[in-house]
Amino acid sequence: MTAGMRIAIDGPAAAGKSTIAKLVAKKLGYTYIDTGAMYRAITYKVLQSAIDLRNEEEITRLIAQTEIELQPDEQVQKVLLDGIEVTDAIRSHEVTTNVSAIAALTSVRDLLVAKQQNLAAESSVVMDGRDIGTAVLPEAELKIFMTASVEERAERRLLEEQKRGMKSDYETLKREISERDRADSERKISPLKKAEDAITIDTTGKTIEEVTNSIVEYAEKRLAQ
Ligand code: CDP
Ligand code: CDP
């Protein structure tokens, strides 16, 4: 493994964060942590329970005993919720349209941020999300803010969902992505925001390989400093 560091990758929906974070982690021999999957898993559990999404007290009680495990896998990172695999279930349309509301709750963020910080204390990590460089790992050695035009992000998500057999359409996805970005950027606690010391990478028109290589180069430069 390359000598240790923490790499934080933040940015709006479908910018390529998780795809690229996973590849960067593989190249450097680091652990990849998809924090969005954690917020999705909690949202899935709340939706299954039929608790009102605004009832923070009940939600806090429900999630107190929740176990979320991220298991590395060649293709997709497996997500286990209370021991049951929910990798595909947390990508459903219902979870996607409700996750920002759940992620805005203080108790949910407190629980997951602590869990993410513990994971980063155990090994070198590439962690992607919305608040990694600003709140979860403010001391990360390398911070990337990844963006792309909303049109390209909607096209990428459309292709991805079609491959998974979902019936999605471009205009709906574009609207939902914009709405989720707005909710994530405007929430009170740890909104989606570029950390002052983050490097912005606009991935519009760039291949996965190009973006991966440029982040690995930044990491190697930091390690050599
Ligand atoms: O993959 P995609 O961009 O669709 O989203 P995600 O990374 O799976 O994150 C799902 C949602 O979780 C986001 O829209 C945020 O509301 C929330 N999230 C967050 O609040 N903080 C993070 N560090 C990661 C995700
Ligand atoms: O994690 P985030 O929501 O930021 O994005 P993602 O789920 O990693 O990427 C969304 C889709 O865009 C995936 O299907 C990637 O294969 C694709 N992608 C791409 O086509 N070109 C890039 N430079 C990055 C991602």
| pLDDT value, residue 1 | 41
Q: Which atom of ligand 1 is nearest to the CA of 43?
A: 12
Question: In the predicted model, is pLDDT for residue 3 greater than 70?
Answer: no
| pLDDT value, residue 72 | 82
CATH for 6-224, options being 3.40.50.300, 3.55.40.20, 3.40.50.1260, 3.30.499.10: 3.40.50.300
Task: Name the residue at shortest CA distance from atom 4 of ligand 1.
Answer: 13
| pLDDT value, residue 76 | 78
Mutate to test the pocket of ligand 1, among 88, 99, 176 (most ligand atoms within 8 A of CB): 99
Q: Once rounded to an integer, what is the mean pLDDT over residues 35-60?
A: 95
| pLDDT value, residue 73 | 79
Task: Name the residue at shortest CA distance from atom 8 of ligand 1.
Answer: 36
**29 marked as binding residue:** no
**Percentage with pLDDT > 90 across the chain:** 90
ipTM of the complex: 0.98
* Dist. CA 185–CA 11, nearest whole Å: 10
37 lines ligand 2 (CB under 6 A): no
Q: What is the pLDDT of residues 106-128, one digit of tens each?
A: 999 999 999 999 999 988 999 99
Q: What is the pLDDT of residues 142-192, one digit of tens each?
A: 999 999 999 999 999 999 999 988 888 999 999 999 999 999 999 999 999
Return the closest-CA partner of residue 149 out of 177, 121, 172. Answer: 177
| pLDDT value, residue 74 | 75
* Dist. CA 116–CA 149, nearest whole Å: 28
